[in-house]
Amino acid sequence: MHRHQSLSRSVLENFGPRLKQAGFSLYDLIVTSAVASVLSLGAIGVTSLVQETRMTTAVNLLMGDLSLARSESIKRHAVVTLCKSSDSASCSSDAGWQEGWIIFTDDNNNHRVDTDEAVIRVQQRLDGNLKLRYGETGRYGYVRYRPDGEAWPGATFSFCDGRGAAKAKGVIVYWSGRPRVTTKTSEGKPLSCS
């Protein structure tokens, strides 16, 4: 047995330093877990920031286009319509507002882009998973501006994403034609995403 003990001692002396350094200490695991937790929370924060930025950008695009349509109706002394469009060429009652919209002079007031009517601006599909509707049930497919700048129908555009109604934003179009950003409908109710 003495020989066995001396062989074990000789193995430990030769390989001991390597055997002692194998694996991680409890301190190493705690620090690594803390760093991983902070990074994952940061990723969640960045995702929320990206969603918020996309929604704010879309709201600002619509605000700018509503103001453009109103000012063009006054400047041209003509009816100007902003309608939802999926093909960037014609109005579509089946399209979702998030698919894009068109601003055009609507000389015959039929809410359709005709060959002799000027297209003022085209907005392509919005980025991300945004949903956009006009009116509480999303039933409105256009906003019409008269030459005096008044708008019809007056209602609320609702912007929603995967975060739900708590993070929704709205743009109210008043009969006067001036839009404003809000977190409630034109009736003062909370925005709905369903």
pLDDT in tens, the chain (194 residues): 555 555 555 555 655 555 555 566 777 767 777 777 666 666 566 788 888 999 999 999 999 999 999 999 999 999 999 999 999 999 999 999 999 999 999 999 999 999 999 999 999 999 888 999 999 888 899 999 999 999 999 999 999 999 999 999 999 999 999 999 999 888 888 999 88
Kindly list the distances between the CA atom of residue 8 and the CA atoms of 1, 14, 20, 143, 152, in Å, as whole numbers in the listed order: 11, 10, 15, 89, 93
Specify the 3-state DSSP secondary structure of 8.
helix
- What stretches of 127-184 adopt beta strand conformation (E)? 131-134, 142-145, 151-152, 155-160, 169-173, 179-182
* Alpha-carbon gap, residue 26 to 46, rounded angstroms: 30
Token pair of 183 as six digits: 């977190």
* Alpha-carbon gap, residue 125 to 149, rounded angstroms: 26
Domains, the chain: 2-182 (3.55.40.10)
* Alpha-carbon gap, residue 133 to 131, rounded angstroms: 7
* Alpha-carbon gap, residue 49 to 57, rounded angstroms: 12
Q: Residues 74, 149: contact at Cβ < 8 Å?
A: yes
For the entire predicted model, the pTM comes to 0.77
Residue 177: how many other CB atoms lie within 10 Å: 23
